[in-house]
Structures are given as structure tokens and as C-alpha cells.
Structure 1
Amino acid sequence: MEVLKSKKVLQDFIERQKEMGKKIGFAPTMGALHKGHLSLYEKAREENDLVISSIFVNPTQFNNAEDLEKYPRDINRDILILENSHLVDAVYIPEVVDIYPEKTVSQHYDFDGLENEMEGKSRPGHFDGVGTVVEELFHQVKPDNAYFGEKDFQQLAIIKKMVEKKKLLVNIKGVPIYRAENGLALSSRNQRLHEDRREASKVIYETLKKVNEWFRVITIPEIKERVQDIFDEQKGMQLEYFLIADEETLKETDFFYKDKNFRAFIVVVVDGVRLIDNMHLD
């Protein structure tokens, strides 16, 4: 596996691969890799000649400096995980100057309102940061296909919208959420939880499964009340928000429409660690 530590080294590598007609699959990450990330590379391996990862903790998508500082970083561990997976041909590890050559600031994007829902309400500017780094990485890596997990469903929708509006020549592929045996959605933030708290956090997935059972049987206000009751009983957990939204617009709904697809979204803070999850409702 090639380890590419600058934009110039990456560009030389990409140029050689393009000359050979290689189809490139790409999945950007912020490191702290786990099996959820590897599921992206498994899908990319099936559909491309060459698979590239990137590891870059993007400063412009954090709303507070403390969260950025606490974000887990172990580049040597991440490289070893990628090497041992035998799924990735190269990993790009840029410096900040490779992504932000002048000032470390985001571009401003119009995502047709997707950025104003859910996460956007409490994290202003977050998706401008996401869009800026992902667009720049697409320009540098020049992938044919790019892979993102459905755990960050709003982010996936926003990246699809950016590609559409910017007319970028890359196919965006969503990959189903990879879960631990107890159902907890795998996340880099999970590393900050003690093992017993990770086990207790399975209630998040169990709640989503119940919501799917209640879907179209009781009203959405009743569902929301039941979800709140569940988390009122959990020690050390705070329900930040739960809602059901249209999968296309991400707008919250209080009523089911037969011709639309809906998804339940939930954010729970466990011992100060913010966990997000979601589920398509059948």
C-alpha cells in the first residue's frame, strides 16, 4: 500500500494510474478507523480497479475547538489497519496546507436547504466545512466512484447535492451502516466510551427498531413521546433530538405520506459523547 503524504506525491500517483486507465474508488475519512470504514473499502474493491483512502481531520467542520482537540488521532494505527485489510491500494495523508493553501476557511455552499435541517441547526457552518474538504479531495484524487456511510445520512445527501450542483464527474455511493454485534452504529467517537457504556448504548438501535414497528401504526407525536420516555429512563444518556424526516428533503414530518420515503434520525449524548444513528422506515 502506498502512503502519499503530500498533494504533489498524490498528483503524480493519480496521473500514473489514470494513464493506465484505472477506475478509482475513493472514501475520505478523518481517521480513527474501524470496521465501518472498512465496509466502504470492501464495496469500493468490488467496483473499481484501484481503491484510495484519505485521512485528514478537517478543522473547518468542527464547531468548537475542544471537540477538534479531543478527536481521536493515531495515524500509525490507521495505516496498519488499512495495510492489514488488503482492501486499499493507497492512502492520502495531506497536511492542512495541501487542502487549504491560503487560509483555513470554508467556502460557502447552497445545498438547497439540506444544510439547515437536523445537524445544521446546532452546528452552523459544519456542512460548509464538509463540502469544502470533500470537493477539494475530489479535485485532487479524481475518483470515478466515492463511498460514504449512511450513518451520516445528512452528510451523504449534502455531498450528493454538491456533486449535482457543481457538476462533478464522480458517482456518490451510499453504504449501509455497519453495526457492532449489539446493534450500535460504529463510530470513531465510540472509542471515547467505556466498554460498559458502549453496551448500554445499544438502546439507541433497539429504539429505532421499535420506531420501525410503530411506523404507520401510531401517530408521529405518539412515537416521539415513547422515544422520549425510553431515554428518560436511561442513566447518563440525554436525547438531544429524535425526528422522522422525508429522505429527499430531510424536512421533519408529523404525518406519513404514502408516496414518500421516511427515515428516523436520532442523536443521543452518552457520558458527554454525541452518538448519531438513523434508520429507513419500511
Structure 2
Amino acid sequence: MTDQESLAMRFEEHRPRLVRLAQRMLGSTAEAEDVVQDVWLRISSAGADGIDNFGGWLTTIASRACLNVLRSRATRGETPLDDGIAEPVVEADRRGADPLDDAQLADAVGAALMLVLDRLSPAERVAFVLHDSFDVPFDQIAELLDRSPGAVRQLASRARRRVRSADTSGGAASDRRPVVDAFFAAARAGDFDRLVALLSPDVELRIDGGLSATSIVRGAAAVASQALLFAAPAALLTPVLVDGLPGVVVMIDGRAVSVMAFDVEGDRIAVIDAFAGPERVAELSLP
């Protein structure tokens, strides 16, 4: 067997995974197959001598090719031009609206999910797909996107919120609202144990104060302590949806001081995203 034949056999073992990756990235089977074929043409010419992690190397090449396609779409106005982190969409929480029937709901969710994916910036889409669907570490994605691992983590987080907002598997936002209400009630009452019970053990509180870095607090006890520290009994809480997730706008003396979004899994809060400070909140478009 020649070296070229051996390389072809190794590549074909990875082709199905590469096609799935490209399909998820691009939303098009035809484009995905074209990208993977281009990857093969590239490595068949260059060879793979000295490559220790062949699968990881192929993933990087295919991901970079998909990123180029997404950016090319953006220059033609087919996807957002901004390759950074999009601001959250804050909407009024209209509970009590007439629900769609099951068939209509399924169609709406499928269409919404595709629309959400298409509205992600190229960097958001790459970070989300590689990490959440293919378990690629953030530091590896950071090299691909020429970003810091922290920035890539934030890209994936924002993308994940948008995708989950179009996915009913976690329940409608109104179904998860009671957990959020219970969280604020416990915070106002100073009930530490109740707060911990409402939080997942590995919960994350991510605080975006408008600076270059996002502060992250991890763990139920640490997040509960933070909630007690900043609980304001006089605050007015306005229910909203933040990228489709249940959230609140926190008002003090008639001024919006923070916006919070809650990712609820089952009966516990898994992630809290807080946009904190009047200056940061002023950058958001509120209902």
C-alpha cells in the first residue's frame, strides 16, 4: 500500500464526522460535502507527516474552512457582519398568550432554531458547534479564532443561550419562571439554604459589567452568597425574556441597574447571566 493510499484510508475513517461538523457549521449538506472534499484535496497534496493527532488536525482544517465560508457569506450580507459577541435580546415576558397547537409549535421551534443559528456571528457559530457538539476544548478553538480562551467561552455561552431559546426541550420560559421567582424570594428573605437548593451544584454566575472581561462565580454556595450580598429589598423586578430565557430587569429608584437571565434545567438554575450597572444596562435595548 502506498503512502497516498494509506492517507486516503485514514481520511475516509474521519470523513463522516467531518461532514457532520461542517453540516452543523454551515446548515447545508452540499456545502459541507464540498468543504470536506476540499480538506481532502489539501491534505492529499501536503501530506500528514509529523501529525500526531490526525483527527484533531482534520477538525482544525475543516473548521477553518467552514469559518471562511461563514465569513464569505457575511461579506455578501447573508449573515451578520459583526464577528464579535452580539448583545442579548431583551423582550417583554407575555405570559398567558394563546399557545400554538403541537404541530404549529414544532414547526415554529424548528424554524426558530435555524433562524437563531443563521443569526449567530461566524465566531459564535464556530465556538458553539465545536465546543457543545464536538467537545473541542476552548483553548484549541481560541487558536482557530485568534481569541483568548475566555473570549471564546463567552462566544459559546451567548450562542448557547440563543439556541436554547428556540429549543423547547427545557420547557417554555413561563414553565421555568417559578424557579426564578423562588430565587428572588429566597434572596430577599435571606434564606441561604433555600438559595442553594434552587441552584445546580456547578451553577455559574457570569457578570458582564461592560469591561473587557466577564467575572464568573462558580458553585451553589458561592453564587448564593453573592445573591444575598446584593439582594435589594426595595428593588422592583420586571419579568422579561433574555434571548428567550426567563429573566428580570432590576429597577431601583426608577432606574434600571441590571438585567439578569436564568438558564433553568429541571427545577434548578444552571447559569445566571447578569448585565450589571446602569452604564452597561443603558447599552441594551429594553422593552
Please, what TM-score do these two structures have when normalized by structure 1? Answer: 0.29
Larger radius of gyration: 2
Please, what TM-score do these two structures have when normalized by structure 2? Answer: 0.29
Higher helix share: 2
